Amino acid sequence: MRPIATTRAATGTETGKLAVWWVLASEVVIFGGLLASYVMFRLGHPEWADAAAVTNTTIGAFNTFVLLSSSLTAVLAHQAAERGDGRKAAMYLYCTIGGAAIFLGVKTYEWWYEISHGYTITSNGFWAFYYTAAGLHAFHVIAGAVIMAFVARDAAKGLELHRVELIGIYWHFVDIVWIFLFPLLYIAK
Amino acid sequence: MVEPAVDLAHGEAHDDHAHHGPQGWLKYLWSTDHKVIAMQYMFTGMFMALVGGFMAYVFRMQLAFPGINVPGFGGVSPGEYNALVTNHGTIMIFWVAMPVLLAAFGNYLIPLMIGADDMVFPKINRLSFQVFFVSTIVILASLFVEGGGFAGAWTAYPPLSADSTYNLTPLGSTLWVIGVGLEFVAFLLGGINFITTLMNSRAPGMRAFDVPIVVWMIVVASILFMLSVGPLLAGAIMLIFDQTIGTGFFNPATGGDPILWQHLFWFFGHPEVYVVLLPAMGVVVEIITTFARKKLFAYRTVIFTIVATGVLSFFVWAHHQFIAGIDPRMANIFTITTLLISVPIAELCFIYIATLYGGSIRLTTPMLWALAFVAEFLIGGVTGIFLGAAGADVYFHDTYFVLAHFHYTFFPIAIIGTFAAFTYWFPKMFGKMMDERLGKIHFWGTIIPFNLIFIPLFVLGMGGQHRRIYNYDQFPDIAGGIFQDMRELATYSLLVMLAFQFVFFYNCFKTARSGPKAPKNPWKANSLEWTTESPPPHGNWHPLRMPVVYRGPYEYSVPDREDDYWPQNDPDGAPLQVVDDDDS
Amino acid sequence: MNAFFEFFRVDYFDPLIEVASSYAADIDGLIWLVLLLVGFWFLLAQGVFFWFILKYRAEPGRRADYIDGKNKRHKRWITVPHLLVLVCDVLIIVVSFNVWYKIKMDLPDNPDGVIRVIGQQWAWTFQHPGADRELDTPDDIFTVDELHVENNRVYHFELQSTDVLHSFSVPVWRIKQDAIPGRTITGWFQPTRTGEFDVQCAEICGFGHGVMAARVMIEDEATHAAWVAANTPATAAAAAPVPAAMPATQVAASPAAGPASAPNGHGGH
C-alpha cells in the first residue's frame, strides 16, 4: 500500500517528476561549482592551453554526437511510453543504454591513450580538472544507464511507464552537462 | 546522488512492516515510518551532542587550567586540542544541529502538520537515515585512527587539510571529508523528501498560506541546503583527490589556489547558518503563538522575509574571508550585503515581539525556551554587525569575539531551539506529559551558565585573544590577569551547565516511567498534529478520516468564539465549500 | 569629509587592549559606533520584549487580542523600525568603508622601512631592512619570533608563507592579514606607542599553531638604532648574506631568497 501522501498532487505535477527536478537542481550546483572553479583557473592560467591541445577534439565531437543521439532515443522512449507501448519504450531505452556504452567505451580509449602518454591526473591543474570533471560526468552516465536498465525491464512488462519520462529528464541533464564539458575541456585550446 | 532518481521515480510502496517486516528492534531499524526515522535522527543527534559536549568539556578544562590532567580524558596535547576543537565544531553543526532540528523535526512534523500519513518517498527517507548513520560511524571512527582525528579546524582550509605532511593526520583528514560528504548526501535525500512532500501532499483545503511556519521554514532551509551544498561537494571531491592521489587543486606549487576552497566552503557555509536557523525560528513561532494565544503577526511578511533572507544568504559568503587575501574591493561589496541581511532578520525578531503584544502569555517550559531563543539570539544577531563591517573585522577576525558571536547564534539554534521543540512536542511524540518543575530547573540551569560561558568570551575577544590556541601561556599580554579569570569563569560555567543536563535526562526518565498520559491536544493548539492520538499511530490518522483543512494555523483568541483556539480542521464556522478531496 | 571620519576615532578600549598604531583608533571608533547603534536597538528590543512578557501574562478572565498584522496601522510597528535599522546599517557601512580603505586598500608612499614577514610551521621569521632601510641588502637582519620596529615610522610589510595558511596578527595594532603560500601580500602599519606586545598566528596552521607566538618590540629612535647596530650581521659587507638566524624547519624553501622565492607564479596579490 502506498502512503496516501504519495497519491496526492497539490501542485498538479506528479511527485516523482518534482523530485527529479529537485535532484537536478542539486546536481546543477555540484557541476556548476566544479566548472566555475575550472573556468576561474583557466582564465588565470593561459599556459593550460598547451595541455588542452593534447585532447582529441574529433573523438570528443564523436562522443558528443553519440550522447545527443542517445537523448533522442530517450525522447522516443518517452513518446512510446505515452502511447502505452511498453515494449517499444523499453527497446528505445536499451538503445540509449547502448549509446551510453559507446560513450564510455570511447572515453576509456581516450583516457587509456592519454594516461599511457603520461598525461595523468597529477600532471597539472588542467589534467586534474579534466579527469575529475569528465570522471564525475562518466559516473553519472554509468549510474543513469544502470537505473535505465531497471526502468526498461519494468517498461517491457508494461509496468511503471511514467518512470520512462523521469529517467529521460535525468538523461537530458547528463547530456547537457556534457554539452558544457566538451567546449570547456576540448575545444578551448 | 544518482540512485535516488530511480527510487524517486518508483514512488515506493510503503510496506506494512507492522505485519510483514522484520520483528523486534529490527523493525525500528528498517522502518519507513517518518516518525520512527525522526526518532532515529533525534537520538543519534542527541548522542552526538553528548560527544560534542564532552569535547567542549575537555578543551575548556585545558584552556582554563593549561596542562591539567582532565578527568575522564587525561592530558591534552596540542594535536589533540586541535582535533577536539575541529571535531567539536564539525559534530555540533553537522551531526547535532542538522539532524535534530532539520531532519528529526522535519521528518516528524512535516507529514503531521500538513495532514499526510507519511513522507512521499518513505524508502528514500529510510535510505537518508542509513547514509547518515554510516556517516556518523565514519566521523567517530576518524577520531580513533592512527595519527588521530582531523585537526585543521571545521573549515578545513587547505593546504593544511590537503597535505598530510602539514596536518600529520593522513587517515583522520580523509575520513573527515568522507564523513562530511556522506552526511551531505543524507541531507540531500532527506531534503528532496521534505520539499516534494510539502509541495504535493498537503491535506485537502490547505493552501500555501495555511501551512504552519515551521514547515515553511524547514522546507526553505532544505532548498537553501540543496542549492548551496553542491559546490562544496565538488570541493570535497577535489580535496579528497588532493589528499589521496596528489592532485594540486589547492596547492599553489602546482598552480592550484588555496583560496578557492574557502569560496566553495563559505558559499555553502553561510547559507548553512540559515539552514539550521530557520527551523529553530519556525519552532519558536509555533510555541509563542500557542502560549501567547495570539495570531502570528503578519504571516505573509514572515514568509517573504525568510525567502529574502534565503536569497541574500547566497551573496554574503566572503565576509568570512575579509582578511584571507581576497581582493579588498570585494570586501566592500560583501560588507554591504552582510549588513543588508541584518534587515530581514531584525524584522523577524520584531515580528516575534509584536506577536506577544496583547497576548495571554503562559510561561510553560517550552515557552520559556522559545522566549529565551529570541532574547539570546538577539545577542548573536547584533554582534554579527561588528563582524560584518569589514573595517572592524580586521581586528575581530578569528578572535574569541567571533567565537562568542556564533555560539550566541548556534547555541540558541541547536540547544535552546531543540529543547523548545522537544519539550513542546514531547507529549505528542511519547504520549506523556513532562514534569514542569524539573523542566524549569533545567531551563534556568542551562540559560544562566550559558550566558556566563560566552559573555566572558566576548571580553576575551575584544582583548585580542585568538581562537584555536591550546595554551595562552605563550602570549604574555593575555596569559594572566583578567584574561585568565575570564577563561576560568567560562569553564566553571560550562561545568555547571553540563551538570544541569542530568536534570533533563532524569526528567525524561521519570516521565517515561511515571509521567501522566498526554491528551490529544495538551496545549490547545491549532495545527493538525494535535488532532490525532498521542503518540500518533502508524499512518498518523485513520486512512478514511484524514484531516481536511479550513483555515490557517494561528487562529487563536478569535473574537466571538467560546474557545480561544480554532483547530485547522474544525469545520465549525467554515464557509460552506466543496472540498476537492480526490485522495480518499 | 576628513573631519567627519576624524569624529569616529576613539581610544576607549585602551584599558583592555592598547591603542598602538595609527589606525587602531579608527577601528576602535568603528567598533564604538557599531556598539552604540546596535546597543540601542538591542536594549530597545529586549526592553519591549520583556515588558510585553511581564505585561501580558495570562490572567483569568482576560482574553488575548486578535491582531493579524495585516493592516497598515499595525504593520507600521514593523516597517518603521526596519527602515531605521537600514539607516543605521548605511551609516555603519560608510564608516566601515573608510576604515577598510585606510588599512587594506591604501598604501602610504615612501615608507620609512619595509619588513618581510614569513610564516612557517610554526614560527615567524622577520626580515628587517637594517640601517639602509631596504630589503634584500647584506645588512638585513633576520630574527625569529621577534619583530623590532621604530615608533612613529610608517612601515610596509610583505607577508609570505612557506607552507600552509598563517595569519599575521598584532592585536595592539589591530592589524591582521592571512599569509598565503605562493603569494606576497603587502600591507602597512605605523606604530604609535613604545613597548613590547604579542604577535599571534590567527589561522590554524597545524600541530604547533598554539605555540606560534612572537613579540613585537616598538622602540624609540635611539633604542632602535642601537638594536640595528648591534644586530647587523658581521657579514654585511659580503655580497651574499648568510641568514644565521634562520630556524631549522622541515620547510625546504628558504625565505631568505627574496621576493622571487614566492613559489610558482601567483606573485603579488
Give CA C213 to chain center in angstroms.
Answer: 16
Q: How confident is the model at residue C152 (pLDDT cuts 50, 70, 90)?
A: very high
- C4 in contact with B, Cβ within 8 Å: no
**R_g over Cα of chain A:** 19
User: How many other CB atoms sit within 10 Å of the CB of residue C254?
Assistant: 13
**Between B and C, how many residue pairs show a Cβ–Cβ distance under 8 A?**
302
Residue B574: what pLDDT? 57
Q: How confident is the model at residue B30 (pLDDT cuts 50, 70, 90)?
A: confident
d(CA B237, CA A153): 33
Q: Note the ipTM here.
A: 0.93
What residues of A are in contact with residue B10 (Cβ under 8 Å)?
16, 160, 163
Q: Which residue, among B316, B338, B353, B403, would best test binding to C if mutated, counting the most C CBs under 10 Å from its CB? A: B353
Q: Which domains does chain A carry?
A: 14-187 (1.20.120.80)
Q: Nearest by CB to B234, which of A11, A33, A150?
A: A33
Strand ranges inside chain C, DSSP E: 113-120, 123-128, 141-144, 146-150, 155-161, 166-170, 175-179, 185-189, 195-201, 214-219
| Closest CA–CA distance from residue A40 to any residue of chain B (Å) | 9
What is the average per-residue pLDDT within C20-49? Answer: 94
Q: How confident is the model at residue B563 (pLDDT cuts 50, 70, 90)?
A: confident
**Closest-approach residue (CA) in chain B for A32:** B231
Residues in chain A: 189
Statement: residue C168 has pLDDT above 70? yes
Q: Is A122's CB within 8 Å of B3's CB? A: no
Residue B407: what pLDDT? 96
Q: How confident is the model at residue C252 (pLDDT cuts 50, 70, 90)?
A: very low
Q: How confident is the model at residue B23 (pLDDT cuts 50, 70, 90)?
A: low
| CA B213-B218-B219 angle, 5° bins | 100
Statement: residue B338 has pLDDT above 70? yes
What is the average per-residue pLDDT within B351-379? Answer: 95
Alpha-carbon separation of residue A163 from A81, A139, B558 (angstroms): 9, 21, 48
Statement: residue B178 has pLDDT above 90? yes
Q: Is A33's CB within 8 Å of B16's CB? A: no
**Closest-approach residue (CA) in chain B for C28:** B392
Q: How confident is the model at residue B138 (pLDDT cuts 50, 70, 90)?
A: very high
Residue A33: what pLDDT? 94
What SS3 state is found at C49?
helix
What residues of A are in contact with residue B255 (Cβ under 8 Å)?
41, 45, 124-125
Residue B572: what pLDDT? 78
Residue type at B229 in one-letter notation: V
What is the average per-residue pLDDT within B356-365? Answer: 95
Residue B157: what pLDDT? 94
Q: Is C66's CB within 8 Å of B379's CB? A: no
d(CA C55, CA A123): 71
User: How many other CB atoms sit within 10 Å of the CB of residue B165?
Assistant: 12
Q: Round the average pLDDT of chain C to a whole number and report it.
A: 85
Whether the upstream peptide bond of residue C171 has omega within 30° of 0, thus cis, is: no
Q: Round the average pLDDT of chain B to a whole number and report it.
A: 90
What is the average per-residue pLDDT within C117-133? Answer: 91
d(CA B196, CA A9): 10
Give CA A147 to chain center in angstroms.
Answer: 12
Question: Which of B179-193, B231-245, B246-260, C217-231 is predicted least confidently?
Answer: B246-260
What is the average per-residue pLDDT within C22-47? Answer: 94
User: DSSP for B97-152?
Assistant: IIIIIIIIHHHHHHHHHTT-SS-S-HHHHHHHHHHHHHHHHHHHHHTTSTT-S--S
Statement: residue B18 has pLDDT above 50? no
Q: Is B464's CB within 8 Å of C198's CB? A: yes
pLDDT digits (tens, 9 = 90+) for C227-245: 999 998 876 654 444 444 4
Residue B518: what pLDDT? 94
**Closest-approach residue (CA) in chain B for C60:** B360
Q: How confident is the model at residue B25 (pLDDT cuts 50, 70, 90)?
A: low
Query: For B34-531, which CATH class?
Result: mainly alpha
Residue type at B154 in one-letter notation: W
Q: Nearest by CB to B160, which of C65, C81, C205?
A: C205
Q: Which residue, among C36, C78, C163, would best test binding to B if mutated, counting the most B CBs under 10 Å from its CB? A: C78
> Cell 520559556 maps to which residue?
B368
Please name the residues in contact with A50: beta carbons below 8 A apart, sequence gap of 6 or more: none
Please name the residues in contact with B32: beta carbons below 8 A apart, sequence gap of 6 or more: B12, B14, B15, B17, B118, B122, B123, B125, B126
Residue C6: what pLDDT? 82
d(CA B191, CA B125): 9
The answer to whether the beta carbons of residues B382 and C41 sit under 8 Å apart is yes
Grid cell for residue B470: 591550546
**A172 or C134: whose pLDDT is higher?**
A172
Q: Is C105's CB within 8 Å of B78's CB? A: no
Q: Which residue, among B1, B2, B257, would best test binding to A if mutated, counting the most A CBs under 10 Å from its CB? A: B2
pLDDT digits (tens, 9 = 90+) for B451-500: 999 999 999 999 999 999 999 998 999 998 899 999 999 999 999 999 99
What residues of B are in contact with residue C176 (Cβ under 8 Å)?
323, 394-395, 397-398
The answer to whether the beta carbons of residues B107 and B34 sit under 8 Å apart is yes
Within chain A, which residues score under 70 in pLDDT?
1
The answer to whether the beta carbons of residues C217 and C147 sit under 8 Å apart is yes
Q: Is B546's CB within 8 Å of A4's CB? A: yes
Grid cell for residue B423: 519539550
What SS3 state is found at C191?
strand
Q: Which domains does chain C carry?
A: 2-105 (no CATH), 113-261 (2.60.40.420)
Nearest residue to C163 (alpha-carbon basis) of C131, C128, C209 = C209
What SS3 state is found at C164?
coil
- C34 in contact with B, Cβ within 8 Å: yes
